[in-house]
Structure 1
Amino acid sequence: MLYSKYEWRTLSADAEISGQLAKELSVSPLIASLMAARGITSPEDGELFLNGTFDLTHDPFLMLGMNEAVPRIRKALEDKEHILIYGDYDADGVSSTSLMIYLMRHLGASYDIYIPHRSNEGYGLHNHALDWAHQQGVSLVITVDTGISAVEQIAYANELGMDVIVTDHHEPPEQLPDAYALINPKISACPYPFKGLAGVGVAYKLAQALVGTPPQEWLEIVAIGTIADLMPLEGENRILVKNGLLSMRRTRFAGIRALLEVGGVNVDQVTAVNVAFAMAPRINASGRLDHAGRAVTLLTTDHQDEAERLAWELDALNKNRQQVVEQIVQESMDMIQRRWGYDQLPPVIVLAGEGWNVGVVGIVASKILERFYRPVVILGIDPETGNCKGSARSIPGFDIYEALNSCKDVMHHFGGHPAAAGMSLHMDRLAEFEEGLCSFADVVLREEHFIPVYHADLECSIADVPLKVIDELEMLGPFGMSNAVPKMVFRGMEVMEVRKMGKENKHLKLRFHQNGDRLDAVAFGLGHLADVLPEGTKVDVLGELSVNEWNDSRKPQLMIQDMSVPYQQVFDYRGMKEPIIELKRLREILEPHLNYSAARSAVVFAQDSHDAIKSHLYDMSLWVYDRNAGILPMNPVAEKGGCESISVLFVLDVPESPGQLDSLLSSFRSVPNIFLLHPIRSKRDQLQIPTRDQFKKLYVMLAGLGSKPMSENEVITRMNRQSALSQRMLLKVLDVFEELVFIERSQGMITFVTKPDKKPLDASRHFRELSELAEMEQHLLHASTAQLTHWMMARSKGAS
């Protein structure tokens, strides 16, 4: 049984609404069902969703502060004032700054830009930067994607005689800064209808207010920042991003074209997904490991050579960032294991490490959250000052911004969204900080919050998704936050082929069939699951549909997000040379997928075998075969936990008798996964289910030896020459003859009884046990995997 990583929750689509949408909009039933499931309930709404135009965007002057900001900027232009554009170092901040550069060029302004260094300065407006700006003759500061929390800094700018216009989209604090104008749709008093703009979206509205209709290509910059900052792709954002992507497919920006090509993206087919996974990480890498100014230069250069050089530099920085992230993730996992163990985690995980690059701690937090599904805060400690800078990532139902606000007294600074935030504090207050977050979580979080949920759109079959329907899915894009790539659930698909692929075999390639239809699938990062998905396995899969194009051939393909096998499985690893090593490998790679800890995994073995088990597998539930009891617990873990809680059973030795097998199967009847790692005997030692003719021939042969005693070894040698039975089988035959008093055994000698009492073979207990033992061993040692699985399942049902 392969457990899904997430709880799948599938939307429901009203059949009547779906039918109406399909008819009125001329879309396939599947597309209509997807739209209905996502809340589109009328053809009119559907038409707006599919074909909404730029006319549906809102008047920028509806935004609070715009009426003050625009005249002030125009005055600065008229008076030739020097303007500072103050941005942020993430992809939204880079995009916002780049957009403002295009605006300043368009307006002919005198301007400078300033973006703080993430590691050296940290987030937000800084007094030393304002001092520098004042020295440069700046009289107007325009912030983009930052500034809404900069109460003290803006007061300082006012003292220096500089006006500050804030454009931001982050959550406003209780006390707002005394700026010349505050432009943020999330301010409670702001009447602007759409609250989900990115920082670059707010900057674009300012540009719109100043120039009327900005150049179409500026929307490419808006699309990058909006997608990268995970803003909802609905309402106004959907229109801005959709038009930005259309422009990007024929982009005249040298930097955007170079960045797409470095990322391996076909420019004329670029999608929101390409922006999110190819462009955004490279732009972000600039601010994480270097300075974000490099990315701004890339997005604003007119020179192709410079664009190509910078794009490759960002690509190299991104690869370096990936290595740094992997190292910190591993150090974080080790720290978690030492502090709590994986089974006793606190409601909020707070980790801090000296020298951890603060530019990547947000990514690390996301990866730790994905592994343990609870809020995570990762902080880098400056060993010289003791100051910590960190990032938080959260789960649905836990507003991390509010959680930080509950312990704001222990921090120097914090800010962010309900799902992600940043903060700084001194290491001396880390314990107090952690305690405050966990106390807040104890009140807010309930058990159900810690169950990861994956929202799927619909359940369907392979027959429902031909190539033309998958092509039609693009009508629902652009995809991103609040308009995710459609996710489908397919149940009961049978594995036809499975193989590992990619570097170090990290990925999984599958081919399924269902009622005569076939579908190829790929699962990134799940190559190890090839071990538990043999051909013929029936699988439930959640994934995203795509088209695989290769050599002018186009085929449907499923990108797997999660999967499960909803029934008991037997895995065949018989004959492994190093079964304990293989067992430990399987434990390490499969524990998250088979839903078991060490204490919930059992090992059964013969008492006189595998001397290393107790020292290597002491934390597991250990059991041994027993002649009388069948199986017995061997260590305190087994004695305390019993059999009921076991999720995975590893069998290292074949039972010595059918009774032991039945005891094993009845004790572990409900175990979802059984791994067989026992050795396989050679054919020479194979037992056979005895026939009466075999015994009759062997009896006649023994009778021909006469009545004189003969060495047992000699008897077996002669019997072996005249039959195809193994030596082990012949010893069992002699046990039967001895029990029926057809022979006598004494001190290694055998004497044939010339006139024995007539007794049927069935009267011999050894004969009956031999039949059962031979059948058991034929299956356990020599049957195919499918035959063995079927036999064990049937035997388990009959075991008592």
Structure 2
Amino acid sequence: PVIVLNIENDLAKGSARSIEAVDIFEALDPHRDLFVAFGGHAGAAGMTLEASRLEALSQVLVAYIEDNQVDLSTKNELFLDEKLSLPDLTLEPLKNFEKLAPFGMDNKKPVFYLKDFKVENARTMGAGNTHLKLKVSQADAVFEVVAFGLGDLATEFSQTKNLELAVTLSVNKWNGQTSLQLMLVDAKVNGIQLFNIRGKNAPLPENVPVLRFSEEMPNLEKSRAIVVYDLPERLNQLKAIIQQGHFEAIYFKNEIAQPYYLTGFGTRDQFAKLYKTIYQFPEFDIRYKLKELAAYLKIDSILLIKMIQIFEELNFVTIQDGVMQVNKKAEKKAIENSHIYQELKKTVKEQELMALGTVQEIYDYLIEKDEFSN
């Protein structure tokens, strides 16, 4: 329950709103001595009292909740009047409902249930993008749903699967046109929700733990949602987190520090050209000439470093204090024999998935048990 009061001339005047679990009138009515004026019902009340009695008012309400062992986490029950079919929806039913007005506590406005529809788009509106407007379709019928105060959930509403809505009907008059629109009362989803926030300007959701593998890991023991901000060098660590957690929502940002999926893992021609180039030099100082070599070979620096590491692993070159020397007596070996090369191929494949795959493809891969896992 919430009580909002304005204090003026040492008098506090305002109103209270409550949830079904707390009968606000029953809680405060026995203490009328606190008030100059008081009245209301189970869900709401109005009051005036001396400002000096605000602490006593707070204590009365807390005592009522504790004495009655009220579970404040309990949500109000929402009664749905009928399932809504968008293709059958016209202004005529709304005119009939308006004959039942005025609506209030004992004569609630009809609430309808909507499922099996598609969210065509979700956009924010109002000052500060506070509110949300959805365009939803079912068969050939398209309607707008207005959700006040939910502008920060535009990403969620536009990408959520198995979304179900509770709505009321309303008339929208704009530019001389009259249309029927839906007003959101509540929403429900089924199953884990996967959100793509890989876009450059996509905002991070508020109050959701963020996985940054370059930083200390957050405590995820009680988390029901996470943001995958960046990626570990190999995805085994991320797979373990996803498989061990009990997440209801996962947001994929998937920042990649070293994008090998853009460079590839090196072609035969690239390896041959690299070897031919460095073979001409008795010594090559890679600390100072790596960028020049990358520019000459037209190979990205991050890939070139891996290629040199592969040569070193295969004993084609030796590196000491940043100086690389070609081993001209090295045994001939296939690049594929390199463990570093094989790991690089896996990294490229994983990065391609995380950068370009759908969020469902990413999730399916992350929850897939490894062959040798317990």
Normalising by structure 1, we get a TM-score of 0.40
Q: Give the counterpart of 1:721 among 274, 288, 296.
A: 296
- Is 1:690 paired with 2:279? no
Aligned length: 364
Deviation, 1:400, is 2.9
Q: Deviations over 1:437-468 (max 9, x none)?
A: 332333335327741333221234433x332x
**1:643 and 1:667 in contact (8 A); partners too:** no
| 3-state SS of 1:404 partner | helix
Deviation, 1:679, is 6.8
Q: Deviations over 1:179-232 (max 9, x none)?
A: xxxxxxxxxxxxxxxxxxxxxxxxxxxxxxxxxxxxxxxxxxxxxxxxxxxxxx
- Is 1:702 paired with 2:275? yes
Q: Give the counterpart of 1:757 among 321, 325, 331.
A: 331
Give the aligned partner of residue 220 of structure 2. Answer: 643
Deviation, 1:646, is 1.3
Deviation, 1:499, is 2.0
Give the aligned partner of residue 58 of structure 2. Answer: 434
Give the aligned partner of residue 602 of structure 1. Answer: 209
Task: State how 1:16-415 maps to structure 2 within 5 Å.
Answer: 374=1, 376-383=2-9, 386-415=10-39
What residue ranges of structure 1 are gaps of 5+ in the alignment? 1-373, 592-600, 608-622, 625-632
Q: Give the counterpart of 2:96 among 468, 471, 475.
A: 475
Distance between the aligned counterparts of 1:541 and 1:549, measured in 2?
A: 23
Deviation, 1:793, is 0.7
Give the aligned partner of residue 502 of structure 1. Answer: 126
Distance between the aligned counterparts of 1:757 and 1:406, measured in 2?
A: 95
Give the aligned partner of residue 194 of structure 2. Answer: 569
Deviation, 1:575, is 4.1
Distance between the aligned counterparts of 2:107 and 2:34, measured in 1?
A: 37
For 1:644, the aligned partner's letter is: E
Q: Deviations over 1:641-674 (max 9, x none)?
A: x423113323444323334443444454625232
Deviation, 1:702, is 0.9
**2:122 and 2:155 in contact (8 A); partners too:** no
**1:744 and 1:752 in contact (8 A); partners too:** yes
Give the aligned partner of residue 67 of structure 2. Answer: 443
**1:740 and 1:759 in contact (8 A); partners too:** yes
Normalising by structure 2, we get a TM-score of 0.79
- Is 1:734 paired with 2:308? yes
Give the aligned partner of residue 332 of structure 1. Answer: none
Deviation, 1:422, is 3.6
Distance between the aligned counterparts of 1:755 and 1:573, measured in 2?
A: 48
Identical-pair percentage: 25
**1:739 and 1:764 in contact (8 A); partners too:** yes
Give the aligned partner of residue 235 of structure 1. Answer: none
For 1:709, the aligned partner's letter is: P
What residue ranges of structure 2 are gaps of 5+ in the alignment? none
For 2:296, the aligned partner's letter is: R
- Is 1:790 paired with 2:360? yes
CA distance 1:571–1:687, shift in 2 (3 Å) = closer
**1:520 and 1:557 in contact (8 A); partners too:** yes
Distance between the aligned counterparts of 2:139 and 2:120, measured in 1?
A: 13
In our comparison, the structure showing a higher alpha carbon Rg is 1
**2:81 and 2:112 in contact (8 A); partners too:** yes
Distance between the aligned counterparts of 1:378 and 1:705, measured in 2?
A: 77
| 3-state SS of 1:530 partner | helix
Give the aligned partner of residue 347 of structure 2. Answer: 773
Deviation, 1:707, is 6.6
For 2:20, the aligned partner's letter is: P
CA distance 1:751–1:471, shift in 2 (3 Å) = same
Q: Deviations over 1:352-394 (max 9, x none)?
A: xxxxxxxxxxxxxxxxxxxxxx2x33444455xx454453333
Deviation, 1:760, is 4.3
Give the aligned partner of residue 743 of structure 1. Answer: 317
For 2:135, the aligned partner's letter is: R
| 3-state SS of 1:751 partner | strand
Aligned-pair Cα RMSD in Å: 3.6
**2:273 and 2:297 in contact (8 A); partners too:** no
For 2:89, the aligned partner's letter is: P
- Is 1:466 paired with 2:89? yes
Q: Deviations over 1:754-779 (max 9, x none)?
A: 45334444432211221122233334
Q: Report which of the two has the higher share of strand.
A: 2
Q: Give the counterpart of 1:487 among 102, 111, 124.
A: 111
Q: Give the counterpart of 2:235 among 635, 658, 677.
A: 658
- Is 1:543 paired with 2:156? no
Deviation, 1:543, is 1.1
Q: Report which of the two has the higher share of helix.
A: 1
Distance between the aligned counterparts of 1:735 and 1:494, measured in 2?
A: 51
CA distance 1:478–1:390, shift in 2 (3 Å) = same
For 1:441, the aligned partner's letter is: I
Q: Deviations over 1:729-767 (max 9, x none)?
A: 111122122212232223333333345334444432211
Q: Deviations over 1:78-112 (max 9, x none)?
A: xxxxxxxxxxxxxxxxxxxxxxxxxxxxxxxxxxx
Distance between the aligned counterparts of 1:552 and 1:408, measured in 2?
A: 51
Deviation, 1:700, is 5.5
Deviation, 1:711, is 1.4
Distance between the aligned counterparts of 2:51 and 2:170, measured in 1?
A: 47
| 3-state SS of 2:251 partner | strand
| 3-state SS of 2:28 partner | helix
**1:603 and 1:650 in contact (8 A); partners too:** yes
**1:494 and 1:537 in contact (8 A); partners too:** no
For 1:728, the aligned partner's letter is: I
CA distance 1:705–1:794, shift in 2 (3 Å) = same
Deviation, 1:541, is 1.7
**1:652 and 1:679 in contact (8 A); partners too:** no
CA distance 1:796–1:517, shift in 2 (3 Å) = farther
Distance between the aligned counterparts of 1:398 and 1:695, measured in 2?
A: 73
**1:498 and 1:535 in contact (8 A); partners too:** no
For 1:751, the aligned partner's letter is: Q
**1:644 and 1:670 in contact (8 A); partners too:** no
Deviation, 1:475, is 2.0
Distance between the aligned counterparts of 2:127 and 2:300, measured in 1?
A: 47
Q: Deviations over 1:670-718 (max 9, x none)?
A: 252325274777x8x7644436xx1355236514643753315457745
